[in-house]
Amino acid sequence: MKKFLMIMALATLGVVSASAQNNIYKTIGVSKDAKGNIVISDPSTILAVDLTFEEEQIVVGPYAKYAQKYLETRPSLVDKSTLTLKSAEVAIVTDSEFKAKRVARDKKSAVSYLGDEDEFAKVSPDRVNSSSMSPENAAAQAAQAIFTIRKNRMDLISGEAGENVFGAGLKDALAELDAKEQAYLELFLGKKVVKTFTKRFIIPVVAGQESYSVARFSNKGIVENGEATGNEVKLILTPSAATPKFSSISEVDARDKTAIAVRIANMATCSVVVGEKQIVSNTVLPIFELGRTAYISAGLVK
């Protein structure tokens, strides 16, 4: 019976030169553990696909329908959410990482008349007294406040507001006016909140299979692969056309009594695509399932 042994140091066998990558390979074939027990395992590759999404949310302002009348602009009148795949990364993971929970790298930014949060203030900045008024009257008052702020800004810049505001004081005064105008404007123009998050998907590679469905996503979010809706994200493995072989180790015939079977990984280009769009295509990784089995003399294995 032929023995199937592990390649613990692939650099020694000429498969991978970087010793830091050796820990991504598992025990291959038949070996013994520290207690002398025989352990049987098989070469396999587990890939992690990290997808980074950008979610853009449009939150309609409470005075949006009056923006055309008082500000001569037409903001969105409907809340919208758009999810876009911005980037992807592919890497090999170890057994210990297979079930590890990934901590999402989230960040959130606000642009174009936004505050720091995606909700409006509990008390609108147009309220200057406790008297009740219709939404349209409140919108008219808020619009007038915007024009007043703009006039005050021009008076400060031109010097019409007085000669005692200059230097750092002028800068602070203008910044305060800008913040107040923004608070009023978002009541009409709404908010646009941009969130970025990364989600990891684990893909166990199957022998001979070169295409994998990673996930689907739509404006409603990321959906399960079993669902047919949304944009499909696929992982494509393109094996090297060259036959994988050792660079400095001689192979022997499989019938040789000293032959040991070892698995040589094929270097494959990993591409992540959405429809016709390619997100990443320059990652090259060693894939056992796309490689081949070779035989070497037992005397070459330490």
**Cβ(261)–Cβ(29) below 8 Å:** yes
Phi, psi of 207 (to 5 degrees): -55, 125
| Distance in angstroms (rounded) separating the CA atoms of residues 144 and 213 | 55
Token pair listed for 227: 């669902």
What is the C-alpha R_g of the chain? 31
The predicted pLDDT at position 131 comes to 67
The predicted pLDDT at position 42 comes to 65
Closest residue by Cα to residue 70 from 178, 175, 184? 184
Token pair listed for 139: 């919108």
Q: Tens digit of pLDDT for each residue in 162-201?
A: 555 556 677 888 888 888 888 888 888 888 888 888 998 9
The predicted pLDDT at position 233 comes to 93
Strand residues in 97-230 grouped as ranges (E): 107-111, 191-204, 211-218, 221-223
Give the residue ranges of the chain where pLDDT is below 70: 1-34, 36-42, 95-131, 160-168, 224-228, 299-302
Residue with tokens 């994998």: 212
**Vertex 203 angle, CA 198 and 208, to 5°:** 145
- β-bridge mates for residue 200, sequence order: 50
Amino acid symbol at 74: R
Closest residue by Cα to residue 260 from 271, 268, 249, 269? 249
Token pair listed for 174: 């203008």
Amino acid symbol at 130: S
The predicted pLDDT at position 41 comes to 56
Strands 259-274, 3-4: parallel, antiparallel or unpaired by DSSP? parallel
Residue 5 vs residues 22, 39, 44, 111, 277: alpha-carbon distances, Å: 16, 10, 14, 58, 42
Taking the model in full, what pTM does it have?
0.65
The predicted pLDDT at position 135 comes to 84
Token pair listed for 223: 């959906």
Amino acid symbol at 199: K
